[in-house]
Amino acid sequence: MFNNKIFILLPDGIGLRNFAYSSFYEIGKKQGFDVAFWNNTPFPLTDLGFQEIKIENAKPNPLTDIYKNIKIQAELNLNIKKTKDKVYNTYRFPFSYSTLKIAIKSILIQVLTGFYDTDKGLGKIREKMNRYERKTLFYKQSLETLQKEKPSLVFCTNQRPLIAIAPLLAAQDLGIPTATFIFSWDNLPKATMVVETDYYFVWSTHMKEELLFYYPNIKSEAIFITGTPQFEMHFDKSTILSRELFCKQNNLDVNKKYICFSGDDSVTSPDDPQYLEDLANAVSILNKKGNNLGIIFRRCPVDFSNRYDSIIKEYSEVIALIDPLWQPLTSSWNTVLPTKADNQLLSNLAEHCEMVLNVGSSMVFDFISHNKPCCYFRYNQKIQLNKKWDIFKCYRFVHFRSMPNEEAIVWLNSPNEIVSKIEKTLKDSSTNVDHVKNWFKVINQHPPQYASKRIWDSIKAIIS
């Protein structure tokens, strides 16, 4: 008898947007699957009418965390050896020595990394991580859950969380196929592959080639090219409000043309407030020239700092705030989770703004789904909050090399260029839009609105 029960493992809140707030669940149900979310997030999926099995008090083995960090360092070392490219050093987070315990851990990771930065060494690390996770209470609990529920496949929504190793190992030890989704377009060069599954779901042919390059132990036939549900929302026209209603709901001037400034977190872009100020100054100049422009500022969902306050106050006539509709479920920053309402808000923001400006964000693909261009700031501020931060380092990251034509982006190379380049883009953005569309096709399987269906088709192929 055909077993149609599929477990969707949600190790953290990152997968909610792709797999709980998209059409993914409904498509699976329509195709006859019995879909259950194996939920490690604090978000109650039963509120959405979904079947869920809650994970309580899941904890990895402390030694697994040490070996995970050794694995990341070893993979980055190996990537440098393979490519002769020092860019992989820029993906390393600085080691901390804030306490004796943390200092010992940091030193241990650095010392041991040199013993494992080969393909054979990485295999040994994976064996050690698996061995330690099989000793955890969470692994035993996962075995019990799987033996009771008997799913035909466990699909993990994110390849990065340490906590996902134990349930995936339990499934494999019971002969249940496992799969994972590569969450983001920049993940593979950064050595973020923590879990090891039977099958892998990727955004594009480009990402499949990356996966085979960085993880040669993975077989080509184990990889499914599906696209990501992340952008499906933009093609659901039923969620798009009229301009009048959108402006009314968000206290905007219906007669203004709005430019979106999307913020990053303080680590990714510490000088974001200065870039917002440069844009606000440019828009003020453009309005004195007879334009009627405004800025919609969408902050990073986990940035609760007051670092923008003085700029917003100074340019209150120009800057309007529309905060992301994310929900803090506890006081911890990593339990600030996306909501379905924010998907619709972001889609309408892209529909009703003229363009988006930021520092190297994937929002370029949200906006191109609505045929809107993107401008990237590409200059350092004269007075920097973090002297070690360099915007040019951002654009040297490997994922930007996927851009087939640099003209896809409107590059803002100095504050003095912002006025003229916004003017030019407002007048005609067709060249940039066409090039970004080509970039989007490299990054994400097209048509982008059918990613969920392709994922379910692939799951059906695996369990059949």
Delineate the domains of the chain, giving CATH numbers in brackets: 5-60+136-228+448-463 (3.40.50.2000), 63-127 (no CATH), 233-443 (3.40.50.2000)
In 138-228 the beta strands, taken as DSSP E runs, fall at: 153-156, 178-181, 199-202, 223-225
Report how far residue 226's alpha carbon sits from residue 153's, in angstroms, rounded to the nearest whole number: 17
Is the pTM here over 0.85, yes or no?
yes
Give me the DSSP letters along 273-311: HHHHHHHHHHHHHHHHTT--EEEEEE--TT---STTHHH
Pairing type for strands 336-337 and 327-328 reads antiparallel
User: For residue 188, what are the contacts with CB-CB under 8 A and spacing of at least 6?
Assistant: 182, 207, 210, 211, 214
What does the buried/exposed string (b/e) look like for 98-132 if buried means 16 or more CB atoms within 10 Å of the residue's CB? eeeeeeebbeebeebbeebbeeebbeebbebbbeb
Torsion angle of C-alpha atoms 401, 403, 409, 414, degrees rounded to 10: 20
Report how far residue 230's alpha carbon sits from residue 444's, in angstroms, rounded to the nearest whole number: 10
Per-residue confidence (pLDDT) for residue 386, from 0 to 100: 87
Count of residues for the chain? 464
Q: What is the pLDDT along the chain (464 residues), one digit of tens a residue?
A: 468 999 999 999 999 999 999 999 999 999 999 999 999 999 999 999 999 999 999 999 999 999 999 999 999 999 999 999 999 999 999 999 999 999 999 999 999 999 999 999 999 999 999 999 999 999 999 999 999 999 999 999 999 999 999 999 999 999 999 999 999 999 999 999 999 999 999 999 999 999 999 999 999 999 999 999 999 999 999 999 999 999 999 999 999 999 999 999 888 899 999 999 999 999 999 999 999 999 999 999 988 899 999 999 999 999 999 999 998 765 554 567 889 999 999 999 999 999 999 999 999 999 999 999 999 999 999 988 888 899 999 999 999 999 999 999 999 999 999 999 999 999 999 999 999 999 999 999 999 999 999 999 999 999 98
Report how far residue 89's alpha carbon sits from residue 16's, in angstroms, rounded to the nearest whole number: 31
Report how far residue 272's alpha carbon sits from residue 340's, in angstroms, rounded to the nearest whole number: 27
Around Cβ 236, how many Cβ atoms within 10 Å? 14
Q: What are phi and psi of 176, to 5 degrees?
A: -90, 125
CB 423 within 8 A of CB 187: no
Report how far residue 153's alpha carbon sits from residue 201's, in angstroms, rounded to the nearest whole number: 14
Report how far residue 390's alpha carbon sits from residue 381's, in angstroms, rounded to the nearest whole number: 9
CB 250 within 8 A of CB 320: yes
